[in-house]
């Protein structure tokens, strides 16, 4: 049996083409490894003129660092000296004098002058002129290498958090509100994604939308093997366009009680496009919404059509997304660091799924899966119950389990999925604005579901990979779980049924990922490609 896309109340404006303009970013400067005595040469290597070059396609922009909240320059440096053992009992004034003299000798090329002490005994120095932040960071790094220095860092200039100027950002409560939001602005202070980071969206495909930048949509693939399901007149091809999944009552067969599936006619869901908008809708274009990783790339992989999709097609999509070979399909030139799967069915995790997932994870790909919308134990639903994936429950605006969300010990973390239905005086009422606003064909809509929760985590994972390309699926999963916000006392359903370790905290997760950048990570082995067929071919549906 195939079941259609989960679709909820539509409320949106038709979109218009964005006047996209990328932020100019200061180019990155690289320096050779210099000894402390060579620091005086640093100023001649990096002049203020060369540090202020701007380029729309600069390396700095590709790394996706947002500089609106950390000024791109500073004229100060902070240095904390260690107290030498041989002058441990020397009067403080003498220590200060010795340290100041040492610092000035290091910084003489910058005409540095001591300004004051901080509350923890570090010294603030004026550099004599305002320099590009990359120059000051590199200088601080070289000074920190000296054994007499505890640390050195730029005296950064911070500003208030700048919110995206997208017209409907205020309706995206799921990003910034407490207790139900994911603390996304804190992550955006560090990164908005990177063109070197790709999220594969294994779903219904994608429609062209003015709020999703075509320059960040990589060449995907349509893996639907059945022409009727594909609804595009053919089977597999290199066009992942979502041609719609509208179905009439009973068109997908009958349930176990003999009732028609679906019970009534259903319009096309544009499910994959809604998921894509949550992950990567364009930011700061003065219209519509903004995606979580709006500077990262997306890779559309179509596996779901009319009445759903087949396990065999989905498994091929997983392998292809990770850069593995799939029979009769071209090689994917853009392997994804992250896969989002907002789909599933009530089955054990069969070998077809597990083999594909294990192979993709071995390639270094993190796999995010929706836990399901049946208000049931998530361990009964695949592929959320497969080993190695990150299983996501849905929470509402109050930070508690959405009424429909699956739950249990197999869930890793939770994310906003919305809840558009409330009960008042014994009657169900719709409040669409409590759903998740994102892109669909022709405009925008509020949806609810674990389908909407999963891309929050996929988008966050993209931000994490943007600041730390060395992350592994295992490390990514652990960071997400460790940094999640613990459920409040009012989250009674999550406390009772289990929604993972908490609601994802984007700011904390990105900061943790960035802090691990210099630590060793295990390079995953390259697996043997398994393109064998399996007798396990049940049907799945998007959540």
Identify whether 271 is a catalytic site residue.
yes
Backbone phi, psi, residue 186, to 5°: -65, -35
Q: What whole-number distance in Å separates Cα of residue 534 and Cα of residue 517?
A: 40
Q: Which of 203, 213, 359, 412 is catalytic?
A: 203
102 catalytic per annotation = no
Q: Which structure tokens are listed for 238?
A: 């290199």
Q: How far apart are CA 321 and CA 231, in angstroms?
A: 22
- Backbone dihedral region of 85: left (phi > 0), alpha (psi from -120 to 50 degrees) or beta? alpha
C-alpha 236: how far from chain center: 29
Q: Give the C-alpha separation, 165 to 185, whole Å.
A: 13
Give Cβ neighbours of residue 314 (< 8 Å, ≥ 6 apart): 202, 223, 303, 341, 343, 353, 383, 540
- Which residues on neighbouring strands pair with residue 407, listed in sequence order? 377
Catalytic residue among 132, 242, 245, 271: 271
Structure tokens at 452: 């909407």
Report how far residue 454's alpha carbon sits from residue 200's, in angstroms, rounded to the nearest whole number: 13
Contact 279, 462 (CB under 8 A): yes
Catalytic-role residue among 312, 405, 438, 451: 451
List b or e across 488-518, with b for residues whose CB sees 16 or more CB atoms inside 10 angstroms: beebebbeebbbbbbbbbbbbbbbbbbebee
Give the residue among 223, 215, 221 at the shortest CA–CA distance from 333.
Answer: 221
Our answer to whether residue 316 is catalytic in this structure is: no
Catalytic residues: 203, 271, 451
């Amino acid at each position: 049996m195939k079941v259609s896309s989960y679709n909820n109340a539509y409320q949106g404006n038709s979109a218009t083409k964005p006047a996209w303009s990328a932020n100019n970013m200061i180019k990155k400067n690289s320096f050779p490894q210099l000894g402390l005595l060579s620091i005086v040469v640093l100023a001649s290597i990096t002049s203020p003129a060369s540090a202020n070059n701007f380029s729309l396609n600069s390396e700095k922009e590709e790394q996706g660092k947002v500089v609106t909240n950390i000024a791109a320059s500073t004229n100060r440096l902070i240095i904390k000296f260690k107290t030498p053992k041989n002058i441990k009992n020397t009067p403080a004034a003498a220590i200060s004098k010795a340290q100041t003299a040492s610092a000035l000798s290091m910084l003489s090329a910058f005409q540095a002058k001591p300004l004051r002490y901080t509350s923890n005994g570090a010294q603030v120095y004026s550099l004599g002129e305002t320099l590009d932040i990359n120059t000051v960071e590199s200088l601080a790094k070289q000074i920190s290498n000296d054994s007499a220095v505890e640390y050195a860092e730029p005296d950064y200039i911070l500003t208030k958090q700048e919110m995206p100027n997208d017209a409907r950002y205020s309706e995206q409560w799921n990003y910034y509100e407490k207790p139900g939001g994911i603390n996304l602005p804190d992550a955006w202070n560090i990164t908005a994604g990177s063109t070197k980071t790709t999220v594969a969206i294994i779903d219904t495909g994608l429609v062209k939308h003015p709020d999703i930048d075509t320059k960040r949509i990589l060449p995907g693939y349509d893996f639907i093997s059945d022409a009727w399901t594909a609804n595009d007149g053919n089977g597999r091809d290199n066009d992942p366009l979502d041609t719609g999944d509208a179905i009439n009552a009973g068109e997908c067969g009958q349930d176990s009680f003999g009732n028609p599936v679906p019970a009534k006619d259903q319009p096309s869901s544009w499910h994959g496009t809604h998921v894509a908008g949550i992950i990567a809708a364009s930011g700061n274009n003065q219209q519509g919404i903004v995606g979580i990783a709006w500077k990262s790339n997306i890779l559309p992989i179509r596996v779901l059509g009319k009445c759903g999709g087949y396990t065999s097609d989905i498994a091929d999509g997983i392998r292809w997304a990770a850069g593995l070979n799939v029979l009769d399909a071209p090689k994917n030139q853009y392997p994804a660091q992250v896969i989002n799967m907002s789909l599933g069915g009530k089955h054990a995790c069969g070998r077809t799924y597990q083999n594909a997932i294990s192979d993709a994870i071995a390639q270094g790909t993190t796999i995010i899966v929706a836990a399901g919308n049946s208000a049931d134990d998530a361990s009964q639903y695949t592929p959320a119950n497969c080993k190695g994936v990150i299983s996501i429950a849905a929470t509402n605006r109050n930070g508690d389990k959405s009424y429909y969300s699956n739950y249990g010990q197999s869930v890793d973390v939770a994310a906003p999925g919305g809840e558009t239905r409330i009960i008042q005086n014994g009657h169900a009422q719709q409040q669409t604005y409590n759903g998740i606003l994102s892109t669909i064909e022709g405009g925008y809509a509020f949806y609810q579901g674990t389908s909407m929760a999963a891309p929050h985590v996929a988008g966050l994972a993209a931000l994490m990979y943007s600041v730390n390309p060395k992350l592994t699926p295992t490390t990514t999963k652990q960071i997400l779980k460790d940094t999640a916000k613990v459920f409040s006392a009012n989250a009674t359903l999550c406390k009772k049924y289990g929604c993972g370790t908490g609601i994802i905290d984007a700011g904390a997760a990105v900061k943790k990922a960035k802090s691990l950048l210099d630590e060793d990570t295990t390079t995953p082995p390259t697996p043997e490609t398994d393109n064998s067929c399996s007798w396990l071919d049940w049907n799945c549906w998007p959540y």
